[in-house]
Amino acid sequence: MVLTGAGMSAESGLRTFREMGGLWEEYDVTEVATPEAWERDPELVQRFYNERRKQLLESEPNKGHRGLAGLEKYFDVQIITQNVDDLHERAGNSKVLHLHGELRKARSSADPNLVYEIEGWELKMGDSCEKGSQLRPHVVWFGEPVPAMVEAAQIASEADIFVVVGSSLNVYPAAGLIGYAPQNASLWLIDPENVMAPVNRHVEIIQEKAGKGVELLTRRLLDKYGK
Ligand code: APR
């Protein structure tokens, strides 16, 4: 299983959140990514996500995404991503679970089960679900539950190999998933910075960007597992 974060898509030109120049330096997270923000100023929230969606439509999967898709030749790969982009799917990974939602989808603000694909980049005030309620971005905001965690924890608890790529591991519950990996699973972390995994166990560190890091990881896994 591969847990990915914003760093996974950095080489596709999408900005991370917590680094210098990251999105949370330019925007106040409480003004664009919380249920209270949506109550207070939905136009601002829509603008923020419309801008992200526009950029996503102009972006392509990078070498790291393609490398993880290539791993499916040798392993049963399950991606669990904190990213709301669709670059893993576009790179060709067949099993992708989104923990924090999907930027190219909208959902009803009255009924969370009504989820729709967004045509193009723009979601507007006045766009509504079939029951007439305003559509909101299909993303998990701070302070909201993470419904996919139950499935993610189950997958993590059955992993033989657990890899983290491009996440500062600051945001829970996602960051805690590594703690669910079985004792005999091998743990790997790819990040150009010195990220600490919240486990008291050996973690193989590949201190590289995603593109180069996934290439090195693939070589080492093929060696280790004799493929
Ligand atoms: N390749 C790999 N990792 C990279 C690269 C790169 N090219 N560039 C930067 N990174 C690393 C950074 O060093 C950092 O450790 O990516 C990580 C990004 O961390 P964050 O910005 O905190 O992103 P993430 O961990 O995904 O954030 C989690 O926070 O705001 C929320 O919902 C949002 O899903 C997001 C969650």
In this prediction, residue 160 has a pLDDT band, given cuts at 50, 70 and 90, of very high
Per-residue confidence (pLDDT) for residue 226, from 0 to 100? 83
- The residue whose CB lies within 8 Å of the most ligand 1 atoms, and thus the one to mutate among 19, 56, 144, is 19
More confident residue, 35 or 21: 35
pLDDT > 90 in the chain, percent: 95
Residue whose C-alpha is closest to residue 96's, from 155, 143, 54, 55:
155
Per-residue confidence (pLDDT) for residue 80, from 0 to 100? 98
Query: What is the mean pLDDT of the segment spanning 145-166?
Result: 97
DSSP string, 121-135: S---TT-B-TTSPBE
User: H/E element holding 103?
Assistant: strand 101-108
Q: What is the pLDDT of residues 78-87, one digit of tens each?
A: 999 999 999 9
Contact 191, 210 (CB under 8 A): no
Q: What is the pLDDT of residues 113-155, one digit of tens each?
A: 999 999 999 999 999 999 999 999 999 999 999 999 999 999 9
What is the residue with the minimal CA distance to atom 4 of ligand 1?
Answer: 7
User: How far apart (Å, rounded) are the C-alpha atoms in residues 218 and 89?
Assistant: 19
In this prediction, residue 208 has a pLDDT band, given cuts at 50, 70 and 90, of very high
Q: Is 136 left (phi over 0), alpha (psi -120 to 50) or beta?
A: beta
Q: Which CATH number covers residue 87?
A: 3.40.50.1220
Phi/psi at 38 (5° precision): -65, -40
- Whole-angstrom CA distances from 161 to 61, 78, 128, 132, 204 are 23, 10, 42, 45, 11
Cα of 8 from ligand 1 centre, angstroms: 7
Contact 1, 163 (CB under 8 A): yes
- The atom of ligand 1 lying closest to the CA of 23 is 21
Q: What is the pLDDT of residues 42-97, one digit of tens each?
A: 999 999 999 999 999 999 999 999 999 999 999 999 999 999 999 999 999 999 99
Per-residue confidence (pLDDT) for residue 19, from 0 to 100? 87
Per-residue confidence (pLDDT) for residue 227, from 0 to 100? 76
pTM as predicted: 0.96
User: How many structural domains are present in the chain?
Assistant: 1
- Per the structure, the complete domain to which residue 7 belongs is given by 2-225
Cα of 223 from ligand 1 centre, angstroms: 28
**β-pair partners for 205:** 189
